[in-house]
Structures are given as structure tokens and as C-alpha cells.
Chain A
Amino acid sequence: MTTFKALMARKMNWFALPVIMVILSMAVLAPWIAPHDPSQINLEQKLTSPDSEHLLGTDHLGRDILSRLIWGARTSMGSVFVIVNLVMFFSLLVGCFSGYLGGWVDTLLMRICEIFLTFPTFILAMFLIGVLGMGMGNVIIAIVLTHWAWYARIIRSLTLSIKSREYIMASQVAGSSHFTIFTRHLLPPIMAQLVILATLDIGHMMLHVSGLSFLGLGVKAPTAEWGVMINDARQYIWTQPELIFYPGMMIFLAVLAFNIPGDTLRDSLDPVIRAEET
């Protein structure tokens, strides 16, 4: 409850949290709140202006924009959610082990990381999809495989810097086990940094998913996805600019909204900053 209060004490969150709530409920409740079938093609009604039937108009195939935005939240947010969690999990595992244990484990894991770091992420992702086959699942696997190494590197260096702090030593001297030291003194500061990093990267991941979808490697044709919608609307940018504006606005709002609580969460949980404010 105190965390919630601390979050609410920041005015920025009065904007961010409702936006996140709306986007998440769009994703979860899509089948019930979408007014139309998002992939229902109706060429007679293509590129119509907003009216009472289609609140945001229709696209070049006559599909309802609002419904596609709502269903798109599900694909975009869902895939990004899975990707971010998987990336955090693997990089935490590798980075912490590497940094904490050191020695040959560190050398081995970091060499593996470097192999992944040498490839340009997008090319490697395309290659992996080429090998694995198309589809959302494989897009997720490809993006996770191409991104974990960056995170692992950062987590390793965080682990190294925190490991050499004196309070870790003091904790060892007090007889704490490695498990206690790891979970109590090492993981919380790492997570604090990682959450910020991950929230900042949500937009980047979203663009990755849509970029791959644009190339025809990700989401299959009729599925609604914000990135795909931008790509569809590209040809009509001069005649119907609102088509590119709606999904772009959604990505913009989502990225913005997810960045703010990530930052303030860290601030509000940090006792040093909390004490300064009171």
C-alpha cells in the first residue's frame, strides 16, 4: 500500500498509470470491447472518415481502425511483455552468475555473449526466423536471442561493482550465506536498474516486432498489430495521414506510459530518495 501511495505522490503517474490501465485492459478485453471484427474486409467502405459506425474510420481494406487498435494492443503488448520477461530472466541468470562467480565461468559466459554481440541484431533476428520459420513465437525467440547479451553484459558489470562494495564484505563477515547475500544485497539494486532499462526498451522491442512483421516475417497478414498498421498506412501518408497517426500514437503513449512508473518506482522504493523528500 505504501508503494502505491508513493507512486501516486508523483503527478506524472496520474497520467501514466491510467494510460497503462487502458492499454492493458484493451489487450485483455479485446474480444469483448472491440466494436467490429478486426480482420473483416469490406472494400466498399475503404478509407472512410470517422462516423458513428466506425469511430475512427476504416483502413485501405475497409477494416475498422478502432477494432484493429484494440486487438493490436493484445499482439503488441503481449509479445513485448513475453520478450522483456524472457530477456530479463536469461540475462539475469547469465550476468549474475558471471559477475558473482568470476573465474572461468565468467570467461566462458562472456565469450558466448560476445558471439551474440558481434551480429547486428536485426540481421541475426531475420536469420533466426529464416531457420526457425515464420510466426509470432519465432519472432519472440529471435528477439530474445539477439537482445539478452546486451542485458547480460550490463548486469554483469553491475554485479561486479556491487560485489566489491563494503557492505557485501560486511555481510560476509557477519556470516551470511551466498544465497542471502545474493538475494538481499545484490539482486535488489540490480533489479532497480534493470527495471528502468527494460521499461526504456519496451518501445524498442515493439518496433522490432513491427519491423519484422513489416518484412513479412512476424505477424501473419490479417492479424492486427500496431507496427503492421503503420506499415499498411505508409502508402496513404499524404492522403490519409490519420491512418499512420493512430497506431503511432498508441506506440508513443505506450512507451511513454511505461517509462514513467519504471523511473518513479525506483525512486519511490529507494529509501535514500524517499528520506530526502520527507
Chain B
Amino acid sequence: MAPEQILSVNKLSLSRQSGKTDIQLVHEVSFSIDQQEIVGLIGESGCGKSLTCLSLINLLPRIIRADSGEIFFQGTPLNDIKSSMMRSLRGKSMAMILQNPMSCFDSVFSIRYHFKETLQSHGMGWSKNRCRHICDALAEVGFENPKEIIDLYPFQMSGGMLQRVMIALALIMKVALLIADEPTTDLDLVSQNKILCLLAKMREQHGMSILLVTHDLSVIARLADRAIIMQQGKIVDSGSVKAIFAQGQHHPYTKALLNAHFNLYGSHLERSELEIC
């Protein structure tokens, strides 16, 4: 099966107007994601990773403007798309996992309601059958008794659990692209491990493409096929994860990142951990 391009971003530039001058935040960023591919986007805080993600789903803050660039999702250009069309893509074809799962759920509503809202937003009703699907999805993301989970309120669950509920939400909608914006940053190591295994499983069993945004190189090392390294709004390095981790010609920032990583974890690519889960 020839890999099909799910997403391609072509020379995307974002800027923020402040007074009379424009501040360039993201500068001519281009990349693409193939089907069933995990692409890691890595860079320091404030380098424009999250903004790039937000522009993919057309939810940039009002003060940030897209100056140029094209975004194609499954071959459809997203630049001039109607907002109602965009809305039907969000959640249904592309989902996003946010950094802080604890605050991503409205604490007034149970997990059941959150599923309901997403389903209803895309014109799907509520039925016994649906409820079983949700329980199946919850079981698949590793909950042992989904029937109890579904009636819990967000504040009764841990960050790792909520992050898995987020993934279950993407799973039930059968999204093609999952944007994970620092999905493990706020979690403890055990939960991190679970989430990363889960993301790998989503790719293997459900054919999702994943854009994995992080500033943790070890996450990239474990999961991603390709990595894009951003610094100050520009892509400074990109390539397969093996190539990035291999010794060779790299941008100084990449080298700095790799050095920091190797000092922490040693010089080998730790892929074996994946087998544990």
C-alpha cells in the first residue's frame, strides 16, 4: 500500500501584529504527514509548535494571523474552507490531545456527557448501541471497567486517565489525524508510558497518523518515525528519527538537544521499552 499523504503544510507563516510592527512567530514551515506515520515536532517552549498545531485546526487566537502558506488535509485545502466545514472536520477527522488533561474537561459534566457532546456535534444520536461503542473504546484505551468510568466526573479521575479518555474520544470518531500537543508533559512516568504505548497502538491498529508535539526527545525516540526540529519559528532540521540520532551534520540546536538527551539517557536509541507494554 503506497503511503497516502494525510496532511501537508506548505510554507506556513504566522505573525502577530504589535503596534505597527509585525512579529514573525512561525516562518515558512513546511512538512507533511503520511498515513499511519508518527511525526514528532520538537522544539523549545515558545518556538511556535503549538501555534503550528492550532493553525492546522483553524483555531488560532484572534491576534495571530496566518500570512501565507497552504495546508492540505487529505487533499482538501484548509485555507479558504468554510467555518462550518472546518467544524465538521474537527473532532471527526482530526482530533487534538491537549497538554493539560485535567483542565480539558468541563467539571460540571460526566464523561458520558463529553462523549455525547462530541457525537452530537457531528450529527450522531445517542443510543444503547452508541453507549456500548463508547464502553468498547474506553476498554480499548485501558480502562478495566468502562461502565463505571463513563459516569465519573472529570475531577474524580487522574490526569493519565483523562488523557486516555481524550484518546478514546478520538478513537470513537475514528479520526485520521491525531494532533498530540505535549500529551505527556503533565503526567508521571507510569502514565506517560501508558499514553505512549496507547498512541503506538492507535497507529498500529487503527491506522491513525499522529503529529506528536513535545520538547522531550526521549518521547520522539520511542515513538516517532520522523522528527522535525523547530527553533524560533523555523524548521532547523528534519529527517527520520534514526538519521537525527545518528552522528553527522546537524544544526547546532539539534546537536545541543541530542547532547542533552544523551547525557540524560545514554547514547542508544531506546526502542525496546515499547515491547514492555
Contacts and interface: CB of A to CB of B under 8 A. Distances in A.
Interface of A: 102-103, 165-167, 169-177, 180, 184-185, 188-189, 270-272, 275
A191 to B, nearest CB: 11
B107 A173 contact: no
Contacts of A174: 90-91, 95, 117-118, 121, 169
Nearest to B107: A272
Contacts of B92: 175
B121 A176 contact: yes
B122 A175 contact: yes
Contacts of A270: 108
Interface in B24-66: 57, 59, 62
B153 A172 contact: no
Contacts of B105: 167, 170
21 contacts: A166-B100, A167-B104, A167-B105, A169-B59, A169-B98, A173-B98, A174-B91, A174-B95, A174-B169, A175-B88, A175-B91, A176-B117, A176-B118, A177-B87, A180-B120, A184-B109, A185-B106, A271-B107, A271-B153, A271-B155, A272-B107
Nearest to B109: A184
A149 B153 CA distance: 36
Given A173-B90, A185-B106, 5 more contacts: A169-B104, A171-B106, A173-B57, A174-B91, A177-B121
Closest 5 CB pairs of A and B: A175-B91, A174-B91, A166-B103, A175-B90, A170-B104
Contacts of B109: 184
Contacts of B88: 175
Binding site secondary structure of chain A? helix
Interface string B96-139: 10101001111111100000011011100000000000000000
B62 A103 contact: yes
Nearest to A164: B61
Q: Which of A166, A170, A177, A184 has the most CB of B within 10 A?
A: A170
Interface residues of B, number: 31
Contacts of A184: 106, 109, 117
B185 interface: no
A170 B117 contact: no
Contacts of B96: 173
Contacts of B57: 173
B175 to A, nearest CB: 10
Given A167-B103, A271-B153, A272-B155, A175 B108 contact: no
Interface string B54-81: 0001010010000000000000000000
A174 B92 CA distance: 7
A170 B98 contact: yes
A175 B103 CA distance: 18
A184 to B, nearest CB: 7
Contacts of B98: 166, 169-170, 173
Nearest to A103: B62
Contacts of A172: 59, 90
Nearest to B122: A175
B156 interface: yes
Contacts of A271: 107-108, 110, 153, 155
A169 B121 CA distance: 14
B59 to A, nearest CB: 6
Contacts of B169: 174
